[in-house]
Chain A
C-alpha cells in the first residue's frame, strides 16, 4: 500500500511569506503528526491530529498551525517565515486507535528553505 506522501518535496520562500505543506497518510490511518528536523535541534514535535482534531501540540510559536481534513489528509502552515524556519518538515501517520499512536512510517519530508 502507498506510504506517507508529502508535497511539495522542496520549497524556497522569502522571509515574511507564508507556506503550506501537505501530508497524505497511509490509507486507513487517522492520526497524523508533524516534526521539524534541523541539524542543530534534531527532530522536534510540532503537532498531532486525529479525526480532524488537534490532539497534541509541541513548543512552537503560533505562526505554526495545522489542520486535518475528513479524509485524514493534513496540512501545516507557517506564517511570517523566518530564516530559522528552514528545515526538513516530516509527517508521520499511525492508525491512532486502539492505543496505536506510534508512527510506523514517516514521509520523505518537505525541505523548506527561507531566504
Chain B
C-alpha cells in the first residue's frame, strides 16, 4: 500500500538557518503530494502541494519539488524564523481509484531558537 516516510525529529535550528525535511513516498502512479504544518495549539493546515512530477509547491518561504525519479518531496526553507516552530507532516493522495484519502508521514517537530 501507499506510504510516506519522513526524517526523524526533532529538528532544532537557530534563526536564519537553512531547513530541509526529507520526505519519500511509495505509491503507484502519480500521487499528489502535500506538506501540512501544525503550529502549537492549532489544527493542521495545508502548507503547500504539488500534483505532478517536477511541480514545485511554495508558500511562506517554504518550497518542495515533486521528484518522481527519487520518489521524494523534501521541504526546504532558506532562512527559518522562530515562528516556523511547528510539526510538519508530509502526505500523499492517490491519483486514481476510489481511495482518495490522505496518507501521512509520522511528522517532524521543528524548533527554531532565537
In whole Å, how far is A22's beta carbon from the nearest beta carbon of chain B?
Answer: 15
How many B residues are at the interface, by size bracket? 20 to 34
Q: How far is the CA of A28 from the CA of B77 in the complex (A)?
A: 33
A101 touches B93 (CB 8 A): yes
Which of chain A's residues have a CB closer than 8 A to the CB of B106? Answer: 42
Q: How far is the CA of A3 from the CA of B93 in the complex (A)?
A: 23
A4 touches B107 (CB 8 A): no
Which of chain A's residues have a CB closer than 8 A to the CB of B32? Answer: 102
Which of chain A's residues have a CB closer than 8 A to the CB of B101? Answer: 33, 45, 48, 56, 58
Which of chain A's residues have a CB closer than 8 A to the CB of B44? Answer: 90, 92, 105-106
Residue of B nearest to A108 (CB): B43
Which of chain B's residues have a CB closer than 8 A to the CB of A106? Answer: 36, 43-45
Other A-B contacts than A35-B104, A43-B104, A105-B45, 13 sampled, CB-CB below 8 A, are A33-B101, A33-B102, A42-B106, A55-B100, A56-B99, A101-B93, A102-B93, A103-B102, A104-B45, A106-B43, A106-B44, A107-B43, A108-B43
